[in-house]
């Protein structure tokens, strides 16, 4: 098939916020315990955190991480995780029907995040708790000294405040499964009052209010309208969540769900604009897509397990084995976030280690990178700068969730500081290569810096300990001459072409 595309230096979408490549980790399953933290492991550092896992996280160049939940946060008492470890209580986690040892809390997690150069995005409990506990948490975290909570932090060995700027006002409060689930107007009012209180302590804090848990919720998108009408002037972002699956084994329909995501973002962008106009507001609210990933391989099995087990500690949960098909999908989804970077400023892959994660780690054993690790890493490393509009003309297909889905998915990013343009290309076609011709207007002297590709695997192939078979390799067959990029793009392949400009 023949595909033509056009990229113009001056046809831009938006400056990409680095936090588009953020992550999320929750006290759930083995994400924390025997995930990032495992004292006694041969790779454990002096704080109990696994160096092998940390090295893989470091290579992702993650700018920010959301913590500690997730559904977990809606019944979490943050005070349980501070002070001497031997004095910390073991609690029952109502979200995932397991025991929480509290051996990792805010100060422990902050050490891990600091060592990896990752900013924390902290969630407060607006399910079982409220404004008072949220402001106490922020005072402990952000206030220098001279008060009960700040001096308590200093007594715990943390002299300087963390100055955390990103704060999530609860989690998935639209969901009936959530501890403390609320009606939209009630939650919006509570979020507004909480945001006002927290801004008294940290005036430049960024507030993230809960949007829909997914776009199939019966309250979507009315939930967003009601919530924002209560709190628009006092928040900076509204969160969206969405997980993806292919239980029907229809690969093209699976890939088409990226277009569905674009509609989701567009719809909530419209709600934001409506509320802003209705309230005559002067501030802008953006989207924080702070939970996204493929999740279906073990979802049904896990749902049965966790609802019946007898409160185990750090049980295996949601430990998806990601496939080559999943990697291609993630490549397309990240391209969509780049194309929607005018609306989506923060996005968090959910989650980071073991639980629906790009990194897996065995207790007392090895760690490895799953297939989805690589498109996430490529986008994080090379997808920073200004998103460029890409006009694509080529064959499309229809599927159950979308019409006119392009077989060739392309996103482009211009990094002026590095003097580079990165083109991310996915061929979704099951059997046909694409003869691609892309004009690069405004970049007449472009040359290829490098070309990486993931291709040639069975769609159901996956990585495992000691067998990372799905990984980028050096690409070939793509060239640039006189401002035109040409080449053959194999079916079912993911490409990163970095151009010097």
Whole-number Å distance between alpha carbons of 67 and 299: 22
Q: Residues with Cβ < 8 Å from 399, sequence gap 6 or more?
A: 250, 252, 253, 256, 405
First to last CA, the chain: 28
Cβ pair 55, 366 in contact under 8 A: no
The 8-class DSSP code of residue 356 comes to S
Q: Write the burial class of residue 467 (CB in 10 Å: 0-12 exposed, 13-18 middle, 19+ buried).
A: exposed
The residues near 2 (Cβ < 8 Å, ≥ 6 apart) are 394, 434, 435, 437
In this structure, the strands spanning 484-489 and 478-481 are antiparallel
Closest by CA to 12, choosing from 334, 421, 445, 408, is 421
Active-site option among 38, 133, 291, 320? 291
Handedness of CA 140, 141, 145, 151 (dihedral sign): positive
DSSP for 93-121, written as a single string: ETTTTEEE---S-HHHHHHHHHHTT-EEE
Residues 6+ apart with CB under 8 A from 400: 250, 253, 256
Answer yes or no: 139 catalytic. Answer: no
Residues in the chain: 501
Catalytic-labelled residue, pool 100, 139, 172, 455:
172
317 burial level (CB within 10 Å; 0-12, 13-18, 19+): buried
229 is catalytic: no
Burial of 40 (0-12, 13-18, 19+ CB in 10 A): exposed
> For the residues of 142-167, what is the DSSP string, one character each?
H--SSSHHHHHHHHTT--S-----EE
**Cα(239)–Cα(287) distance, integer angstroms:** 6
Structure tokens at 298: 């073990």
Measured at the CA of 205, the angle between CA 199 and CA 208, to 5 degrees, comes to: 100
Cα 5 to chain centroid, rounded: 28
Residues taking part in catalysis:
172, 291
């Amino acid at each position: 098939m023949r595909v033509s595309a056009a990229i113009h230096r001056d046809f831009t979408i938006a400056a990409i916020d680095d936090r588009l490549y953020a992550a999320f980790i929750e006290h759930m399953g083995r994400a924390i315990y025997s995930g990032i933290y495992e004292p006694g492991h041969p790779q454990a550092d002096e704080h109990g955190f696994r160096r092998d896992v940390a090295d893989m996280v470091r290579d992702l160049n993650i700018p920010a991480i959301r913590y500690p939940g997730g559904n977990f946060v809606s019944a979490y008492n943050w005070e349980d995780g501070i002070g001497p470890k031997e004095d910390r209580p073991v609690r029952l986690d109502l979200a995932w029907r397991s025991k929480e040892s509290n051996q990792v809390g805010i100060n422990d997690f902050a050490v891990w995040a600091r060592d990896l150069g990752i900013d924390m995005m902290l969630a407060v409990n607006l399910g079982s708790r409220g404004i008072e506990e949220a402001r106490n948490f922020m005072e402990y975290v952000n206030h220098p000294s001279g008060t009960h909570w700040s001096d308590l932090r200093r007594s715990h060995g943390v002299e300087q405040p963390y100055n955390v700027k990103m704060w999530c006002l609860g989690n998935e409060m639209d969901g009936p499964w959530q501890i403390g689930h609320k009606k939209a107007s009630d939650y919006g009012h509570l979020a507004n009052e909480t945001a006002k209180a927290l801004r008294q302590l940290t005036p430049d804090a960024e507030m993230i209010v809960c949007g829909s848990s997914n776009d199939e919720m019966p309250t979507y998108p009315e939930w967003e309208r009601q919530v924002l009408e209560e709190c628009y002037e006092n928040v900076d972002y509204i969160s969206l969540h969405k997980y993806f699956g292919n239980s029907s084994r229809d690969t093209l329909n699976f890939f088409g769900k990226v277009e569905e995501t674009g509609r989701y973002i567009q719809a909530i962008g419209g709600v934001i604009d409506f509320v802003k106009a209705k309230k005559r507001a002067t501030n802008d609210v953006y989207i924080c897509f702070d939970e996204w990933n493929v999740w279906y391989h073990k979802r049904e099995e896990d749902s049965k397990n966790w609802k019946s087990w007898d409160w185990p500690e750090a049980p295996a949960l949601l430990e998806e084995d990601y496939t080559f098909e999943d990697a291609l999908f993630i490549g397309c989804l990240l391209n969509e976030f780049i194309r929607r970077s005018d609306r989506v400023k923060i996005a968090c892959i959910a989650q980071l280690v073991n639980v629906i994660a790009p990194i897996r780690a065995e207790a007392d054993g090895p760690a490895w990178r799953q297939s989805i690790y690589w498109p996430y890493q490529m986008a994080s490393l090379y997808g920073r700068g200004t998103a460029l509009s890409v006009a694509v003309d080529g064959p499309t297909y229809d599927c159950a969730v979308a019409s006119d889905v392009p077989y060739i998915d392309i996103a482009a990013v211009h990094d002026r500081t590095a003097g580079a343009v990165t083109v991310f290309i996915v061929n979704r076609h099951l059997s046909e290569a694409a003869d691609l011709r892309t004009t690069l207007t405004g970049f007449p002297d472009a040359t290829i810096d490098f070309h990486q590709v993931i291709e040639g695997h069975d769609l159901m192939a996956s990585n495992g300990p000691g067998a990372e078979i799905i990984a980028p390799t050096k690409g070939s067959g793509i060239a640039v001459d006189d401002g035109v990029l040409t080449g053959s793009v194999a079916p079912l392949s993911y490409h990163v072409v970095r151009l010097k400009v």
